[in-house]
Amino acid sequence: MSSIIQLLPDHVANQIAAGEVVQRPASVVKELLENAIDAKANDVKLIVKDAGKTLIQVIDNGVGMSVTDARLCFERHATSKIRLAEDLFDLSTKGFRGEALASIAAIAHVELKTKQDQEELGHHIVIEGSKFISQDVAVLPKGTSFLVKNLFFNIPARRNFLKSETVEMRHIVDEFQRVALAHPNIYFTLIHNGSEMFNLPASNYRQRIVNLLGGKTNEKLVPVTEDTEIVKISGFVGKPEYAKKSRGEQFFFVNDRFIKSGYLHHAIMNAYDGLLKEGNQPSYFLYLQVPPNTIDINIHPTKTEIKFDDEQALYAILRSAIKHSLGQFNVAPVLDFERDPNLDTPYEYKNKDSDSPTIQVDANFNPFIEDKPVRNNNNSYASSGNYTKRETANSWESLYVDLRKDTAEVESISFESEEVTGSFFDNMEVENTTSRTYQIHKKYIVSSIKSGMLVIDQNKAHQRILYEQYLTNITVKHASSQQLLFPLELYFSREEIQFIKELQPSLENTGFIFDNIKEDSIQIGGIPVSIQESEVSILLEELINGLQHNIPESTFSLNDGIAKTMAKSLAVKTGTYLAEIEQENLVNGLFACKDPNVSPFNKPIFITISVEDLDKKFAL
């Protein structure tokens, strides 16, 4: 019987390894950027075409490679950071060349141009699908240039699984931002299809965050610092009033490497306890420095998840540091037991009684005495006060003359008497016969039908009505707008601005009017008729948050997602009182829809209870 197990050829093994390392173009970007950083470069340029499907090029001014290193970096199991098995648990670099380059070269056309500073000439190597095509000497500047073309050219099935250009480019931008935030001392540039997306000069951590996310980010940041034997924490957290629904601005860096940690995220949420609205997420950019031998970064293929030796202590330190920062900068209320000595009573006045204020009263003051002297009949001024008092009394009595006439007129007016035509229960019976709908617990609407009664969820019913309305407006491209007296200016990060630009045509069909879109802000001159001005920012945030994590592949899916998000955000909420006319309009609008049975999210909108079911309940 022949053997079943056999060794795979190198090119096949490389392609299998590439499936683990290179999932999409963003994986190549991550590896090449990290290699450039380990090469001690201070200027890194990323050039991308067609979201990395056609071209990915990373150019750096690092130390370069010798001819031997240039050939060895494409071999399997070649690395610069591991010599012994114990080195896996004491890593201080990201891996200078090697490891992933063999996998990348197995599924793409790769060109390497590199030159060391002390050498006069550099080296140019071309590889296609793990096969060396050429190796030449060339005149090159100091540093290294990796050019990856036609990704997955020899694996068509894998290439077909790639998403749209918009989706893949968003993943590339995510990887670029993570590397750029971890290394603010390096000049980064990102160019896509010939246009510059990011130009980030070398700066400090705070300025790098502002350059990436927009100028208004600066006023949102609260610095965090803590230095212990276990961990050294630095970075920034966002103020609670700027929290958003999305989790896009949350970054953890451990030893300058981006990670994801639900455990540490819970520590931050615990520090914000009582400061955030329900469902909101704070922004944070936290840099943790720990001894390399206290973490394991190889528990995940992409190294975005790591394991700490003492997670509980790290949790407590991180939570305490953030709470302290929020309190120190008057973001959160804190208990302050220190007294202001300036507010204390002076010592010499401590035992003295307070003096009561003195009040002076003029006993001769009479408010009814006129200032001007009164003439008598003999053309002499009266010197006595009796005549003045009598005249004053007569003048006061004259004030009531007209008032008596008005009172008599009022008394002559007759009012209609209200007659009670029936008892309280009779009135209720009349209302029951005329009313068609009822609201229960400000959540459900009950309406009678021939076979029994109908119980409708008011929130889901309104979602269905708005969903079909917005979807029709987007498709037909005809919607009413209300002009704003003053344009509404909203601020977003650069990534969110790019997303809004993609949504702009569909949003304009629903009634939005965009006056101007800048790098970090937008101006809105008109909004749909059914939306309040205060709801616009919340709606756009929910649109971005909902569609960022579920990016549609087609225009119809995008329009459908917009209509669903707007309907969910603007539908009448549970707990809202509806007048009888509003209830009837909601019921009529629901059954005028094409599909009144389920909400846009496939949840039942109403249930029917027949008379037979009610009879059975009472027959028990």
- Domains (range + CATH), the chain: 10-200 (3.30.565.10), 213-328 (3.30.230.10), 439-607 (3.30.1370.100)
Three-state secondary structure call for residue 91: coil
| Residue 458, pLDDT score | 93
Taking the C-alpha atoms of residue 22 and residue 31, their distance in angstroms, rounded to an integer, is: 9
* Positive/negative CA dihedral, 86, 89, 95, 99: positive
Q: Is the pLDDT of residue 381 over 60?
A: no
Three-state secondary structure call for residue 504: helix
Mean pLDDT score across all residues of the chain: 79
| Residue 532, pLDDT score | 85
DSSP assignment letter at 593: S
- Among 204, 197, 256, 210, smallest CA distance to 45 is for 197
Residue 128 has, within 13 A of its CA and on its CB side, a CA count of 5
Question: Which range, of 157-166, 190-199, 547-556, 605-614, averages the lowest pLDDT?
Answer: 547-556
* Positive/negative CA dihedral, 269, 270, 273, 278: positive
- Residue 281 neighbours by CB under 8 Å, 6+ apart: 243, 244, 245, 246, 247, 250
Q: How far is CA 69 from CA 30, 96, 132, 568, in A?
A: 21, 10, 15, 57
Contact of 59 with 44, CB cutoff 8 Å: yes
| Residue 14, pLDDT score | 59
Question: Which range, of 78-92, 274-288, 334-348, averages the lowest pLDDT?
Answer: 78-92
Q: Is the pLDDT of residue 238 over 60?
A: yes
Q: How far is CA 568 from CA 204, 536, 564, 592, in A?
A: 41, 14, 6, 19
Q: Give the tens place of pLDDT for each residue, 253-267.
A: 998 889 888 889 999
Taking the C-alpha atoms of residue 237 and residue 284, their distance in angstroms, rounded to an integer, is: 4
Question: Which range, of 229-243, 410-424, 555-569, averages the lowest pLDDT?
Answer: 410-424
DSSP structure string for 328-390: HTTSS--------GGGSPPGGGTTPPPPPPP----TT--TTS-SSPPB-TTS-B--SSHHHHH
Taking the C-alpha atoms of residue 343 and residue 416, their distance in angstroms, rounded to an integer, is: 66
Cα 85 to the chain's mean position, in Å?
Answer: 43
The identity of residue 216, as a single letter, is: K
DSSP assignment letter at 230: S
Q: Is the pLDDT of residue 296 over 90?
A: no
pLDDT band at 548 (very low <50, low <70, confident <90, very high): low
Q: Is the pLDDT of residue 6 over 80?
A: no
Taking the C-alpha atoms of residue 135 and residue 471, their distance in angstroms, rounded to an integer, is: 58
Mark residue 129 as left, alpha or beta (left: phi above 0; alpha: psi -120 to 50; beta: remaining). Answer: left
226 or 502: which carries more pLDDT confidence? 226
Taking the C-alpha atoms of residue 183 and residue 201, their distance in angstroms, rounded to an integer, is: 11
Look-up of token digits 């000049």: 187
Contact of 610 with 451, CB cutoff 8 Å: yes
336 or 305: which carries more pLDDT confidence? 305
Q: Is the pLDDT of residue 330 over 70?
A: no
Contact of 278 with 313, CB cutoff 8 Å: no
Contact of 52 with 25, CB cutoff 8 Å: yes
Angle subtended at Cα 551 by Cα 547 and Cα 554, rounded to the nearest 5 degrees: 115
pLDDT band at 427 (very low <50, low <70, confident <90, very high): very low
Span 351-367, average pLDDT: 76
* Positive/negative CA dihedral, 251, 255, 259, 262: negative
Angle subtended at Cα 183 by Cα 177 and Cα 187, rounded to the nearest 5 degrees: 85
CB atoms within 10 A of CB 573: 11
Taking the C-alpha atoms of residue 282 and residue 274, their distance in angstroms, rounded to an integer, is: 12
Which residues partner with 221 through β-bridges?
238
Q: Give the tens place of pLDDT for each residue, 24-40.
A: 899 899 999 998 998 89
Span 363-392, average pLDDT: 56
User: What Rg do the C-alpha atoms of the chain give, in angstroms?
Assistant: 39
pLDDT band at 405 (very low <50, low <70, confident <90, very high): low
Contact of 328 with 239, CB cutoff 8 Å: no
- Among 298, 310, 304, 253, smallest CA distance to 81 is for 298
Q: How far is CA 110 from CA 4, 63, 162, 209, in A?
A: 35, 20, 20, 33
* Positive/negative CA dihedral, 503, 22, 255, 264: positive
Q: Is the pLDDT of residue 350 over 70?
A: no
